Every structure is written in structure tokens, then in C-alpha cells.
Structure 1
Amino acid sequence: MRVLKFAILGLLEQDKMTGYDIAAAFKGALGQFWSAKHSQIYPELKKLVVEELIAFETVIQGEKLEKKLYSLTAKGTAELMDWIQRVEAVNVSNKDEFMLKTYFIAAMDKQEAQQLFSNQLNSRQRKLEKLEQILTELEAEQKAPIHFSSPEFGHYLVLTRAIEREKGYIQWLERSLALME
């Protein structure tokens, strides 16, 4: 399944965007849980145009710079809604380089293992701090408490899940380090 396709359709459901805007979204809030590079985004945009799920208009910026401003078509909206409402099996990511290193921990001496886990703990703590800062800013931007009809409700849900994930990872790292003592 082309999940990037649905990420782009979802972004365009929110607003018209250029390819640059879409790439920037993957560096922002969306990048907290999904990633895509320019080299993936632009070919996908071409496919979506051919499939008539999105359309574009050429706009002029400045004196000569032409940009494509993409928007969702009715067919694209229908496909996005089908995907959103589809019940999927639980998807567990199978690629975690740190877990792979952990699996082979017997190849390390105790100090190397403790250093590996300490480094990961520090990284996860910094990530948690950043996520909590983003949540604080998101809540401060809202004029009322965040609820289902808030435009940022989806971002809020994903962000609070990411915070809980990092807290759990940090607890596991701390318990693991204690076992290494």
C-alpha cells in the first residue's frame, strides 16, 4: 500500500499546497510520526495527478517563479475517506536499529552496553522534552480547550500518543540500566 499517497491526500484535504509545502509538513508536525523525502514526494504527486486524485494550478510567485499549487479532487477525497475508515490490522514497525543492537548486547562488555543505553536514554529524554514543548505551544495557541471539532485535534491526539510512547521507552531504558548494575 502506498501510505505516502494517503498522507499527501490528507494534507491536501486540509488546504491547497505546493510540493515544497508538503515536504515542509513532513519536517513539522507530521514528521513526528511519519517521514518522506523530496525524492519520494514529487514522484508521488505526479502519480496522484495521473490517477486524478489531485489537480494543480500553476501560480506565479515573484517575477517569474512558477509553482504548482495542488488541491484534492472529489475522487481524491473519496479515496482518502475510504482509507481513513478502513479497519486495518495492528501495524507494528519491525525496524528499530537500537532494538537490533540490544538483541546482540552479548557482543558488548558491560560498560559499552551501559553507554549505549545511556546515550539512548539521553536522546529519548531530549525528544520527550521537545514533544512536551510542542504540546504546550499547541495548547497555548488554542482559544478554548482542544476537543473533537478543534482543527488541531488530530495533531493533539498524535502528539499525546508520542509523549506516552517516549515516557514508556524512557522507563524501559531506566529499568534496563538498573539491571546492568
Structure 2
Amino acid sequence: MKAYNDTTYAILGILTTDCKSGYAIKQFIDRSLSHFWKISYGQIYPTLKLIVQEGLAEVNVSTTSGRSDRNEYHLTSKGMDTLKNWLEQPLQQAPVERNEVLLKLFFGSYQSPEKTIAILQDYKNRLEIRYEMYETIEKGIHQHNKDEKDAMYWLMTLDYGKRVTEAAIKWCDHTLKNWS
């Protein structure tokens, strides 16, 4: 079976939800995947075109009174098989995190200690806000989506985000304490 890039598989997965237009796909990404997977509009539409060309999805024009026509994408059985095949494959490698804070710290000897402390404090504050957002999302899933077939999997990825964020907050505390 032909291999595609991860963006293609992500969009195939999103097409299993109620998100069928490019706009709805981007909204879904911004609400749920953006915490661990970024995809821009500039990637979405070329990928949707490829998916249709490859026979992984079909496109239908949806006409709604008072609105402009929009393309709606629906997985084909080939698209579902491609997604399932990819899901069942072992990981190619452990993910590598890109972290601007760590990059700045690595070269931190070229900035003042006060700037380093400020960067760490700001990072910690942002992490605490992120953690609160994850808790809000978790409550929302439990209240509004607990019966969804995907809810358990959404909660797994959310738990990962919470734990990584909590560990990063602890790392900030430890680093700031040892810095002083």
C-alpha cells in the first residue's frame, strides 16, 4: 500500500468525524489536534486535492441557501483502509519535540541571567494556562461527549498533554529554584 505523509493520515482521520469541509477540518484541528499536531490551511487544501486524486475520498458540492457552495469530502472504502493500515503500523521513530525555550536556554550564556529567569517564568505561566485549558477540555468531554466512540481516545491524548505539561511545570520550578 502506498505511503503518505502524516498530514494526509491526519486528514483521513478527521474525515471520520462530522468535519467534511476544509474550513471544518481547520476548526477541528484548532480545537483538538493543535495541542500536539499543527496543520495549516496551506496544507489542508492541497492534501484534500491529493486525497481525492488518489481515490481516498470523494468530493461533493454542498449548496445551502444564502451561502456560497462548499466542497464536502467523504472517505471512500480505500481511504478508510488506508487510514486503518497506517494506524496499525508500528511507529517509525519516537517523536522529537521542537521547543523554543530549550533552544534559548541552550544558548543562554549569551543573554542576561534576568532574561533567562524571565523566559522560564513566562514559559511556566503559559504552561499553567495550558494545563487549565486541558482540564476544561476534559470536563467538556466528560459532560458532552462521554458516549462518543472516540471519547476514550480523546481522553488518552488529553491525559498525555496534561502529564507532559505538568512535568514541564515541575521542570520550570526545579530549574528556577536551582538557578537562584
Q: Provide structure 2 residue ranges, at least 5 long, that are not aligned to the other structure.
A: none
**Is the Cα–Cα contact under 8 Å of residues 15 and 71 in structure 1 kept in the other structure?**
no
Give the 3-state SS of the residue equivalent to 1:49 in structure 2: helix
1:106-130 per-position Cα deviation (integer Å, ceiling 9, x unaligned) = 1222212111111111111111111
Offset from partner CA, 1:141-179 (integer Å, 9 cap, x none)? 2567xxxx7431111111111000100000001000001
* Count of residues paired in the alignment: 177
Pair 1:173–1:83, CA change in 2 (3 A): same
Q: Deviations over 1:14-60 (max 9, x none)?
A: 33511111111111112221111111100110011000001011110
In the alignment, the residues of structure 1 paired with residue 19 and residue 139 of structure 2 have an alpha-carbon distance, to the nearest angstrom, of 27
1-side partners of 2:18 and 2:146: how far apart? 21
Matched, 1:153 2:152: yes
Identity %: 23
**Higher deviation after alignment, 135-144 or 44-53:** 135-144
The answer to whether residue 163 in structure 2 is matched with residue 164 in structure 1 is: yes
| Displacement after TM superposition at 1:133 (Å) | 1.2
TM-score between the two structures when normalised by the length of structure 2: 0.91
Q: Which residue number corresponds to residue 102 of structure 1?
A: 105
Structure 1 residue 129 corresponds to structure 2 residue 132: yes
SS of aligned partner of 1:111: helix
Shifted more, 152-161 versus 166-175: the winner is: 152-161
Question: Which of 56, 72, 86 is residue 53 of structure 1 equivalent to?
Answer: 56
Which structure has more RCO (C-alpha within 8 Å, separation ≥ 6)? 1
Determine the C-alpha separation between the residues in 1 that align with 2:19 and 2:122.
41
* Greater Cα shift, 112-121 or 88-97: 88-97
User: Structure 1 157/36 Cα, relative in aligned 2: closer, same or farther at 3 Å?
Assistant: same
- How far the C-alpha of 1:64 sits from its partner, in A, is 5.7
Q: Give the alignment's TM-score, normalised by structure 1.
A: 0.91
Q: Which runs of 5+ in 1 are unaligned?
A: none
